[in-house]
Structure formats: structure tokens, C-alpha cells
Chain A
Amino acid sequence: MAQVHFSAGLRDLTGGLAQVEVEATTVRRLVAALEEMFPGLGDRLSEASSVAINGEIFTDAEFEPVDSDSEVHFLDIFQGG
């Protein structure tokens, strides 16, 4: 099960949970699973997050693979200059 971490700003949608374990093979499936667990969370993640998988940050992570060892963080989107 992938370990998914939420920044404090997302916890209004997770009922305060900072971390959950989710079974999924890609980020897209992971987000879909999270939407089922926490309605509204999936939309917020798609809109306003980039994803770090095992420390590497992705901006378009939909089809990136995750596995049972993956540590996944959803991050606020930031812009470079």
C-alpha cells in the first residue's frame, strides 16, 4: 500500500488525517481512490497539487506508477520565475 501524506492545508477534506495508506498502481488511480475515501479531495488534488513520489516532484503525475513502497506527497503547486 502506498503511503500518502497530506499537507495541513488539505486536511479539511480528510477529516484531519495527515496520512493514509492507499492501494493503487498509478497516481490517477490513487487520486480516484482518495476521492472515494474523501469526497471532494480528488478535485482539489487535481486542481491545486503537484506530486512527489519517493522524493521526486512531478507536475503531471497522472500515469506515474506507484507501488507498495511508494511514499507520495501532494504539494501546493508552485511557479518558477
Chain B
Amino acid sequence: MAITEENPGYKWVGTRPIRPDGLEKVTGKAQFGADLMLPGMLFGKVVRSPHAHARIVSIDTTAAEAMVGVKAVITGSDFPDLAANGAHASDIDVASNAIAREKVLYEGHVVAAVAATTRDQAEAAAKAVEVTYEVLPHVLTVDEAMADGAPLLHEGMITKGVDPAPENPSNVASKILHERGDLDQGFGEAHVVVEREFTTKPVHQGYIEPHAAVADANTDGRAHIWCSSQGHFQMRAYSATVLGVSPGNLKVTAAEIGGGFGGKTVIYLEPLAVRLSQRAGRPVKLVMDRDEVFRATGPTSGTRIRVKMGVSEDGKITAAEVWMAYEAGAFSGSPVGAAGMTAIACYDIPNFVVEGYDVVCNKPRVAAYRAPGAPMAAFAVESVLDELARDIGMDPIDIRLANAAVEGTQASYGPKFPRIGFVETLEAIKDHPNYTADLGPNQGRGVSAGFWFNAGMMSSATVHINENGSATVVTGSPDIGGSRQSMALMAAEELGIPYESIKAVVADTETVGFNDVTGGSRVTLATGAAVVDACRIIVEDLRARAAKTWDVEVDQVEWVEGQAQHVEGTQPPLSLNDLAAKSGRTGGPISANASLNSRGVGAGFSTQLCDVEVDPETGVTRVVRYLTAQDAGRAISPDYVEGQMQGGVVQGIGWALNEEYIHNPDGVMENPSFLDYRIPVASDLPMIDCAIVEVPNPAHPYGVRGVGEVGIVPPMAAVGNAIRDAIDVRMTDLPMSPVRILEALNEQSD
């Protein structure tokens, strides 16, 4: 269902046809990263640190090298020393994470890799690599890492963003700060003040497809990589950095990708596969098993967050104070910056301080996870707002309406908001029958909201018109969520030809121009903009060709619904088929390219409504009803917009109720499997009702706003607020698992 501001009568945009890659995916033909087989291909296996923090004393590969079927063994010394070459700090971190040099910084950190003729031989060889470690003390949480005298991961780390700069190094990489107004005055004006402290655990993106790459290297230093990624140009760039080669030497083909959610915007296996292939002289396939995915690829940060907020009697937020510490894992770069910018962005608050810390610890380097940084901060802020609403007896939607950011509001992170749709999402929830549905015993209802900037960045597209008037749309954005369909829908709308006569494909790094990653909710907007631009160049070209054919001025030609029409009306129309069939006589093949750094990104808001039932005997929370309202600007593909909304919600429900990393005191992960890292399954959930709100982004030709990420921002607080409503307990530590609910209920009854 859609709440639309005005529908300009699009013919294709907004419809629900079958996506172009669907047939391959339901018949098993689609080729994902691990599906490729090449002649002579070897199987690779990675050797990983068993310790959370240790110095590598020595690596002896002689036994492994001598084993039957082993064709290559590599270690950190097989890669250039970027630190010695004076490279940028962030590049050094990427290279050090790809394979350890002097130290291992987390359990699972890559130490070596082997390639052999069979999987079993590779596994045996990996076990035969002898590594001697000097185990060092480690830190696992922000509390441990920030404590006085904590062991350091990086000896030279001086906290950035602090004035004066600290004298001594620590595990705090940087501080962020946003301030406005006068906090004391603001709290002084409040009728009620609530302060709570929250913790969240690291959670994994949970893509069902483990990382996989196949590399085929030549003796001249060039290589072809097939991998599942969210951005093969980015994989090329990072791999080139780690290998110390020109990106032009690497060709990367995007395999179909089995989920990413941000976790596949970074490299893991690719440079290892290339180096192994170079040493062995044969193609090498490297695939992670599920255990490795959990132990060694970035989850998102665990956090500690304190929120203090005050409201006036009539529900206006007078002051907000937010303190956050985010785990970065082994290298700096947690999403605390985005957390600081999004934590209170939904609301117009005159007095606030938002302070955040990026903290390293001996766990895998965190990777992006759907609106990185925002969900944890929203859990805290939206829970406190819920308490405040209860304390003054105000409806949870009304208190949000009373403070909602609108066009012209100065965002908490600085600039003024242009036209946005937050209020419309709040109203969509309030107007929906779910809002007044009956609740039974042990059931409760919670509301929550969230914001995400969305991104623009760079994309390229080429559109070819085939000789019969059908079209091919070529982009370089790996398709995670159905974006090929959106590209074809926009091209159909622009060219005025049926969707079915358009094929949208994802090309490799040699056959399409540069594209930034598929992430940041940017593909429909940015790659779509490139497709639209290329189509508009073609339409202008077609008008010129028709004018030539009729021997008239171009201004006598209009392009309407796939045909050149003569304004004066004396010439019969020329279809795209007609012009394409005779393109040779009007100038040659019909094709256009567009490359851009996109403009006009529109921010996204989501408001969500959750009903739960809590079993007081077992502590199990069941979601019985869920509604999400999200501003999509314009839903190019309503089916797949709903898909993004529903997927984000369910990841958030898992984050809220069950998912967490469990480490033993040695820093070893104890639950690296889907059995013990419990993501939602079909029997946990009801249908996820969707209300697509359309407040078009004024800066985009179709009004598009990114939709992929914001859906994961509200759910944890929606669930937490519903639990509060059901059992009168405010859960402040995620996940709100049955054990923790029971503990809380027991404490309450004491």
C-alpha cells in the first residue's frame, strides 16, 4: 500500500513486473561467488590466529609446502609493507587487516594461506603451517579498552578530536562532539528528565552467502577476480592497494551476491586469492566457511550509550545529552561518527550535547551494517523518549509529532533539512488500523522512529539500443536487492518502450565506467541518475535522427511513448524500432554513456509500530504484529521497496531479541554458527505490514529517496518499547533474550 503525494501518471515507474535476474535465481542458474569452476582450479584455505592479541614470533611453512597437492603458501611477507612505503594510514589498516604482519589483533586474523589441488589437501596444509606466537593481554569491550592501564593495540594511537591532545596513547582513536544551546538551561526548563544507560553487543550482518572469490593470475602481474561483493570497483581498489599493483592490472567480475548489508563493501579473500594464484600459476578459489565468517569478518560495533533527555509538560524536548562509546574492533573506524549525527536527528531540540568515542579492541575490524552506527543510538534515544512520553501521559506518536524535524529545521548535525517526510510516516502509523488493534494478556505495543542520510556518490551507465529497438542498460552496481529492475523501469519510462524489451546487466570493471559501492541506499538514486542521463542523451539523439529522416528542424520532433512524433503532424511517427533498424544512415549505432558524481540525495525516515507478547514463564518474546512506514520519496519498484523495508525490520528484530557475539575470556568466539548465533526464522515472525510513504525528493528527477537502510534503525526500540508496555520492564541491554527478560522480571518482583 502506498500513500502518495501525487502520481504524475508514470507508465512503468511504480509497477511490479518480474525482475530480470529472477529466472536464473529460481532455477539455480545464477552464478554466485563460490559457483565458478575453472579448469585447473585449486582450492585455497586461510590460516587464522587462535589468539585475540599476540606477536607473531615465526611462521614455518616448510611442512605445508611439502605436502601432497600443495601448490602455494603465502604469509604477510608476500605482500608489500605499506607502512614502510609511507602509505596513508587507512590503506595501512586495510593491508594489515587483510593479512597480519608483526601482530595478530583478533582471533581469526589472517596469518597465512595455502592453495592445493583438493579441499581436503588445502585444509591439511593449513593445519601444517607452524606459527609461533607470543600471547599478549587483550581487551574485548569498550569498558576494558578504555580502562586505565589497558593493554594497547596500537602503540602510537593518540585520540583525535580532543583539545589539548592527550600525551599518552590509548585505545581511543577519536572523539566526536556536537553541541547546541545550553544544556543546563534546557534541563532546568524540563518538567520531567529521564536518564538511562544502554549496552548493545556486536551483531553480524548475517548474509547467508559466505565470502567467496576466484582469482586467475597471469605471470605478467595481471589477474582476473570473480567475487561476490557490494562493489567490484571497490574490491579492485582495495586489492590493488594490498597487492601493491595498479588497479588497471586487475579485472574484477561481479558474481551474484548472496547478501551484504554493508559487510561486503570491504575485502577479505580477494588479494589472498590473487597472490596464491600468482605463486601457483593456476586459478585459486577461496571460500570462507561459516565459522570463519563469524570469527573474522566485521560485525558492527558493540556499544555503551548513555542518554539523558528532558521534556516540558506539553511534550517539547528541552534538552538531550548523549554519550556513546563504539567498538571499532582491531582498527579504528567504528561508525560512531554517523551515530553522533543521527542519534537525535529526527527531532528539533534546542539544547544538546552529543559526544562519542571510537574505541579499538581485540575483535574483528567492524564493517558497515545497514545504516552503520544509527540503530544503536536510536535504540537508546527512542527508549528514553518512550519513558518521557509515559511520564507525562502523552501518546508516543504525538510526542514525536510535537518535536519532529520538518523542512527548514536545523538538523542536529548542522545543515537545514530540505523537504522531508518524517511527519508523514508518523501520521501513516497513527492512521493505520494496527494502531488501535486490540491487545491481549501479556501483550504490549511500542513505537519508534529513525533517520538515515542516504548517499549519492559516483556511478556510470551505458545504454545501447539494439538493432530491433530493444535496449540494454549496463551499469556497474552489483544487484543485491533487485536494482536491475529499477534501472530497467526508469529506462522504460525515459525511452517510452516496454520494460520487457529492456535488459539490465551488471558489467565488470573493464566494460563499464567506475561505480562506487552498492550500499548507502544509493543505487536507485545515483546509478539510476546515470541511467536516466544516458537515456536522455539517447532521446535527444533520436530526435535528431528523426529530424534528419524527415528533413525538418529538431524542434519539430517530440519523443512520446517510444516514438518520434512530428509536431506539425505531416509525417507519420518513427518508432524506436524504425530508427534503430536504419541507424546506419542517421549516424551509426545508438548508444550513450553517462558518468556522474550524483547530486540531490534525499534523506529517509521510518516510523515503526511493534506489538509483542511476552511469556512470563519463559521470557520468550514473540512479535505478533509489525507495521513499518517509510518515506521512499518515489517507489520506483514498490515490490522491492517493500522488500527492503521488511528485511531491515527483521534484522532489527533479531538484533533486539536474540543476536549477539559471545566471547570467552580468552577472546575466542563461542557461538560462530547459525545454531548459536540466532537470526530470525520464519516461525518467529508475523507478516510485516508496509506503508510506503511518498514525499518526493525535490532534487531528483523521479523524487527518489534511498530505502535500503533506514528500516533497520527503529526496530530495537520498537520492540523494547513494546516489551516495556507488556511487562512494565525497561530493557536497556541488548539482546532482550529470554534469559535477560526473566532476570528483569525476577528483579522487578523482588
Contacts and interface: CB of A to CB of B under 8 A. Distances in A.
Asked if A and B form a direct contact in the complex, defined as CB atoms under 8 angstroms apart, the reply is yes
Interface of A: 5, 7-9, 11-13, 52, 54-60, 71, 73-81
B597 interface: yes
A55 B405 CA distance: 14
A71 B176 CA distance: 22
Given A7-B178, A78-B373, A56 B413 contact: no
Interface of B: 161-164, 175-179, 205, 261-263, 265, 335, 337-338, 340-341, 367-373, 413-418, 453-457, 517, 519-522, 597, 599-601, 699, 709
Contacts of A80: 262, 368, 371-372, 454-455, 517, 519-522, 709
A9 B373 contact: no
B459 to A, nearest CB: 13
A59 B516 CA distance: 12
B599 A56 contact: yes
A54 B205 CA distance: 34
A61 B457 CA distance: 11
Contacts of A75: 341, 413-415
Given A56-B600, A76-B340, A81-B369, A8 B179 contact: yes
B177 A81 contact: no
12 contacts: A8-B177, A9-B161, A55-B416, A57-B456, A59-B455, A59-B597, A73-B415, A76-B176, A78-B337, A81-B261, A81-B369, A81-B371
B372 A55 contact: no
A7 B261 CA distance: 29
Contacts of A73: 413-415
Contacts of A58: 456
B413 A7 contact: yes
B465 to A, nearest CB: 32
A57 B372 contact: no
Nearest to A79: B368
B341 A76 contact: yes
B601 A56 contact: yes
Contacts of A54: 415-416
A12 B161 contact: yes
B177 A9 contact: yes
Given A7-B177, A9-B177, A12-B161, A81 B415 contact: no
Q: Per DSSP, are chain B's interface residues mostly helix, strand or loop, or mixed? A: loop
Contacts of A59: 455-457, 597
B415 A57 contact: yes
A78 B335 contact: yes
Given A55-B416, A76-B176, A77-B337, 11 more contacts: A12-B161, A13-B163, A52-B415, A56-B699, A58-B456, A76-B340, A79-B368, A79-B519, A80-B522, A81-B261, A81-B520
B456 A55 contact: no
Given A7-B178, A9-B177, A52 B709 contact: no
Contact of B414 (A13, A52, A60): A52
A74 B368 CA distance: 22
A38 B7 CA distance: 50
A9 B175 contact: yes
Most chain B beta carbons < 10 A, residue from A54, A58, A78:
A78
Contact of B163 (A5, A12, A60, A74): A12
A60 to B, nearest CB: 6
Given A7-B177, A9-B177, A73-B414, A60 B597 contact: yes
Contacts of B163: 11-13
Contact of B519 (A11, A71, A81): A81
Most chain B beta carbons < 10 A, residue from A5, A56, A76, A77:
A76
A56 B338 CA distance: 16
Contacts of A13: 163
A56 B417 CA distance: 9
A17 B413 CA distance: 16
Nearest to B371: A81
B685 to A, nearest CB: 22
B335 to A, nearest CB: 7
Given A80-B454, A81-B519, A7 B373 contact: no
Given A59-B456, A81-B372, A8 B520 contact: no
A32 to B, nearest CB: 21
A64 to B, nearest CB: 10
Contacts of A74: 414
Contact of A57 (B178, B205, B601, B709): B601
A54 B410 CA distance: 11
Contacts of A76: 176, 337-338, 340-341, 413
A79 B177 contact: no
Nearest to B175: A9
Contacts of B522: 80
A45 B522 CA distance: 24
Nearest to B597: A60
A65 B415 CA distance: 17
A17 to B, nearest CB: 13
B338 A79 contact: yes
Contacts of B599: 56
A11 B178 CA distance: 10
Most chain B beta carbons < 10 A, residue from A13, A58, A75, A80:
A80
B448 to A, nearest CB: 19
Contacts of A77: 337
A-B interface, 4 closest residue pairs, ranked by CB to CB distance from nearest: A80-B520, A81-B262, A12-B163, A81-B368
A77 B90 CA distance: 14
Contacts of B263: 81
Contacts of B341: 75-76, 78
B369 to A, nearest CB: 5
A57 B597 CA distance: 12
A60 B519 CA distance: 17
Contacts of A79: 262, 265, 335, 338, 368, 372, 519-520
A81 B262 CA distance: 4
A76 B613 CA distance: 40
Given A76-B337, A76-B340, A80-B709, A5 B414 contact: yes
B417 A81 contact: no
B556 to A, nearest CB: 36
B178 to A, nearest CB: 6
Nearest to A81: B262
Contact of A78 (B162, B338, B367, B457): B338
A70 B176 CA distance: 25
Contacts of B454: 80
Contacts of B413: 7, 73, 75-76
B39 to A, nearest CB: 37
Contacts of A11: 163
A5 B368 CA distance: 28
Contacts of B368: 79-81
Nearest to B600: A56
Nearest to A44: B160
Contacts of A9: 161, 175-178
B661 to A, nearest CB: 18
Most chain B beta carbons < 10 A, residue from A8, A77, A81:
A81
Nearest to A61: B597
A10 to B, nearest CB: 8
A75 to B, nearest CB: 6
A80 B367 CA distance: 10
A7 B163 CA distance: 14
A52 to B, nearest CB: 4
